[in-house]
Amino acid sequence: MKTKLKITGLDCPNCAKKLEEAINKLDGVKNASIEFVKNALTFESDQPQLAIEKIISLTKQLEPDAQISLPHQSKQAQKQSKKWIVDLTCLLLGIALGVFIFFCPLARWLYWTLYVVSALLLGYKTYIKAIRMLFKGKVNENLLITISVVGASIISEHMEGLMVIALYSIGKLFESLAVNRSRRSIEKLAQMQPEYANLLVRKKETRVNPAEVKKGSIIVVHAGEKVPIDGVIVSGQSSIDNKSLTGESVPVTKVVGDEILSGGIVLDGTLEIKTTSLYKDSAISKIMNLVENATENKSKTETFISKLTRWYTLGVVVLAVLIWGIVWAATKNLEDAFYRGLIFLVVSCPCAFAISVPLSYFSGLGNASKNGVLIKGSNFLDVCSGLNMVAFDKTGTLTTGEFEITKITPSQNFSKQDVLYYAALGEQHSLHPLAKAIVAANKKPIKTIKNVKEVAGKGVEYVLNKDNYFVGRMSAEQKSTIVEVYKNNSPIGTIELCDTLKHTSLDACKQLKLMGIKTALLSGDNKQTAEKVAKQLDITEVQHNLLPKQKYEYLKACKEKNIKIGYVGDGINDAPSLAVADVGFSMGINGAPASIEASDVVIVDDNPQKITTAIKISRYTRKIVWENIILSAVIKITFLTLGALGVTGMLAAVFADVGVTVLAILNSMRALKYNPNKKQKNK
């Protein structure tokens, strides 16, 4: 059984990783995972209550400031806010005491007393964590800082010792602020979840849990309320704010007959909606499920950094001792050798790597979510950035799936309206998209025809005033989508229809081309129809008359040629292709559950333009990740070298460590603020 808990009070990703490893070693606990940025702890256990007790006990030992609770317990959040005030107060008092003792003449005993109090106020949590982890046979960055402070005190570098712990604590404060900002962006998504639904039964409204509403029920949504479940409007008209759902800032007007997604906010009027899904299958529920699990699939870069930090700290301690030994052997100066070893410890803290890389990816995922693109993990975010080809399914992906009449050709003695009328008589009860388009276009009143017979694979037959009519496809002509109408086996005329292109499809294909990405159309339609759509959208390559298996084989062949390919689809038959592609993009509104499950990226509002949004955000995020890695590595290597050679002192080392951490964090936050819709130069 999978259980999810809320864990607050962790102040660094390394601490979270160490705690996660320890929890996974507990009896009866499997697959424990801590999402540092999301304050989430998940695990599997046959006895969850017993496992929770063990986890709480272990957490108190390793991370006394951490609090474990059930999700959305506000009391824990209040406790954490008070702890933040206590931490800030201790930091300010510690700095004030440090300044006081260095600038005021004091008796020796008073100087040392205040010095120790200052050092404890500035870093008591760091020292406690270092000692506790050391007793468990583990070392981390807390130990590096503790050794540096104690070492500096031993060799009488008191000011530098306090500066080390003061700047480290300030850096941790910046980390906390940056992470909390990212957390708030995800909490905004959580606020999209509706708390209730107004169920209409016998003209009376009853407020219920959205999960209790059955498919086909009538719900009422008033001005200012969130739409709780997907449905179709049966009464009323309103402007809907879908900004938090799709990223679109302009409200959209919805009227009777329009589909409406859960998560949108009704700005005016009152709507009665007939639900078309259960709450768990609604758009908002899908979004929250994907967001909750998005950070479980980590990129190769993030996984590598995570694995590296496990052994990094121990390696740093060993190298520091080695440098101390080499310098001592070369200079015969024990104090100078010890000092240079301490500098190495300070500079080597892995904070910049440990926090900036996952924070960059998390910010990118959060930004994508705000823009109506749900990416199921940072690994898929990474792969999106390297795509060099995107293949599209046609119907429901590039087109609306709704047909419109383009041409009516009547036979002699019949008008266009006659052809349309007799066709509508036969198609009035059909749910086929072509039938719906014909019935909608007919303007004459339609009689109810009872003796309608379906001719398998061809169309329908009916009798009117003793005349036999046929509506469908009798000839073998396959040049375009045509419905033929016959009276007593003589042609009345033909109706030519086409699937309507989404208004954003052309721009999506143009943008992909500007970004240096090839496009392909993989369609089950005939050659003429497929090539016509490809020409309209300026798509590079066209494959027609394809079965689902042939689409799958095409994508597989591309991968064998080392082409990084994405596939965009919405139907059940697209699921195999979505799974085999390097990145599968599915449609969130009209997409089949199987296609959404098989895909790696979900486009919330079915807008193909959002594919370019996903790629732009992924490229920008990956750029930031490597900027942080290179920046941190270059600065650390430079100051490690200078410190080992005795060119720089400990203060410079502290500024280098804390400075690069703060810079990396601030740089990571750019991924959250990046605007993918802003005009920019593309490669």
- Which residues does the annotation mark as catalytic? 393
Q: What is the DSSP string of 221-263?
A: E-TTPBP-S-EEEEE--EEEE-HHHH---S-EEE-TT-EE-TT
Phi, psi of 280 (to 5 degrees): -65, -20
Q: What is the dihedral of CA 159, 162, 168, 172, to 10 degrees?
A: -140
Sign of CA dihedral 16, 18, 22, 25: positive
Amino acid identity of residue 327, one-letter, is V
**Burial (0-12, 13-18, 19+ Cβ within 10 Å), 243:** middle
At a CB cut-off of 8 Å and minimum separation 6, what does 393 contact? 522, 523, 551, 567, 568, 569, 570, 571, 574, 577
Beta-strand pair 197-201/459-464? unpaired
**Burial (0-12, 13-18, 19+ Cβ within 10 Å), 506:** middle
Q: How many residues does the chain have?
A: 683
Contact 475, 484 (CB under 8 A): yes
Which of 482, 503, 619, 610 lies closest to 564 in space, CA to CA? Answer: 619
With tokens 């989404």, the residue in question is: 502
Phi, psi of 478 (to 5 degrees): -125, 25
Which of 539, 528, 545 lies closest to 482 in space, CA to CA? Answer: 528
Phi, psi of 443 (to 5 degrees): -105, -15
CA distance 380 to 308: 21
